[in-house]
Amino acid sequence: MEVDPETERSIKELQALEQNLQTVLMQKQAFQLELSEAENAISELGKSSEEVYKIVGNIMVKYSKDALQKDLKQKKDLLSLRLKSLDSQEKSLAQNAEDIRVKVLSKIKH
């Protein structure tokens, strides 16, 4: 079946949008995992009354519990912000892809 050049461009644009969407989804999944790890670390740190250590490079260093809690909270806040941004990107990309998909399908059916 022959498609006009405009439809071909739309199909290529749709493919690019879908690839971008997959990239965003993978980033989002990685950040969600990091956020979960940070939340678990904060929870465990709250239960601990002993000395705490932080992994720096390839070594563990004794660290202030308060400073570590502050670092983890900042990391959690940053990850939450990044996830919010990725959610927004995901919605935008998905909507654009859907709009183009509808346009392409309507041209192909005619």
Q: Is 69 exposed, middle or buried (0-12, 13-18, 19+ CB in 10 A)?
A: middle
Complete domains list, the chain, with CATH: 5-109 (1.10.287.370)
Q: pTM of this prediction?
A: 0.82
Tokens of 54: 């932080």
What is the full per-residue pLDDT of the chain (110 aa) written as tens digits?
677 889 999 999 999 999 999 999 999 999 999 999 999 999 999 888 788 989 899 999 999 999 999 999 999 999 999 999 999 999 999 999 999 999 999 988 87
The three-class DSSP label of residue 44 is helix
Given a contact cutoff of 8 angstroms between Cβ atoms, the answer to whether 107 and 24 are in contact is no
d(CA 6, CA 23): 26
